[in-house]
Amino acid sequence: MLLIWIALNGFSGLLVGTMAALAGAALGAWLAPEEPYPWRPLRWLAFAGFFLWESFKGGFDVALRALKPTLPIEPDFHQHAIALPPGKPTTLLISFISLLPGTLSVRLDQSGTELIVHSLVPETMASVDRLEHELSRVFEHARSNS
């Protein structure tokens, strides 16, 4: 959020933006009902780089398909077995899937282990697998199916 603040306002009022970001993070951590996960800033930075790269690749692919109608699209729903633990890791996975171009989280089953994902082309499901793997590294949880 602080980076968004800087992008929108520049460095003007950076102290206010920093205080708001810290207050929001502290409030979110205090209100979270789940067990806390260890904070690994370097892993989050690596994840941010991964996510930006995947977003760029996916956005380029979607734009190319929109501009060149001869490229195939095969919209479909796919089941994705979630290997992350419930709580924050799973919530972030579901949220980030919808932010990646060409994918959208549709429905989580009641057990919280199966997610329906809509994709423009089947190849985008590989980015969902990579996303889950990267989140498992951030939260230091090994995937059960790796």
Query: Which residue ranges of the chain lie beneath pLDDT 70?
Result: 1-2, 29, 32-39, 141-146
pLDDT digits (tens, 9 = 90+) for 93-127: 999 998 888 899 999 998 889 999 999 889 889 98
Query: pTM score > 0.75 for this model?
Result: no
The count of structural domains within the chain is: 2
The C-alpha atoms of residue 43 and residue 120 are separated, in whole angstroms, by: 29
The C-alpha atoms of residue 38 and residue 42 are separated, in whole angstroms, by: 12
The boundaries of the domain holding residue 112 are 40-138
Shared domain check, 46 and 25: no
Instruction: Tell whether 144 is covered by a domain.
Output: no
What's the pLDDT score for residue 36?
A: 64
Q: Mean pLDDT score of the chain, rounded to an integer?
A: 83
Shared domain check, 116 and 52: yes
Residue tagged 């009022």 (tokens)? 13
Shared domain check, 91 and 60: yes
